[in-house]
Amino acid sequence: MNLSSIAKDKNRNNLSLLYIDSAMALANKGKYLDYRSTLALSQSRAFEGIGDLKKALTSLKYHITLKDSLLDTEKVKTISEMQRSMRVKKRKDKLGSLKLII
């Protein structure tokens, strides 16, 4: 992705798109939503730089979709951690109560 940024900074948007495509192919093989989201945004900017606004908009929409998925994943992870913490607290409270009885 750094190579694509350098190419974009030098106003070589077509070269930037080639680097982004390569990086996106690798990111798609794994579960790298964060990289894919960032790449889609970079792709959108590169398409905008060459004047292809339709593809720029499509890439931007893809970026937003991926970003939303990331947020949903983070929310689920946070909720799961909170539930786990509550279960641990309840167990500790129950153990504390049992010690008082003994």
Angle of helix 13-29 relative to helix 2-9, nearest 10 degrees, comes to 160
What is the value of pTM for the model shown?
0.67
pLDDT of residue 101: 67
**Which structural domains are found in the chain, ordered by start?**
2-101 (1.25.40)
What is the distance between the alpha carbons of residues 23 and 3, in angstroms, rounded to a whole number?
10
Contact in structure between 7 and 19 (CB atoms under 8 Å): yes
Tens digit of pLDDT at every position of the chain (102 positions): 577 777 766 778 888 999 999 999 999 888 888 999 999 999 999 999 999 999 999 999 999 999 998 888 888 888 988 998 998 888 888 777 766 666
Residue 57 burial (CB count, 10 A)? 13
Query: Cα–Cα–Cα angle for 38, 43, 46, nearest 5°?
Result: 130
Task: Give the CA angle between residues 80, 83, 88 to the nearest 5°.
Answer: 125
pLDDT of 60 reads 96
pLDDT at 44: 96
Q: Tell me, what amino acid is at 79?
A: I
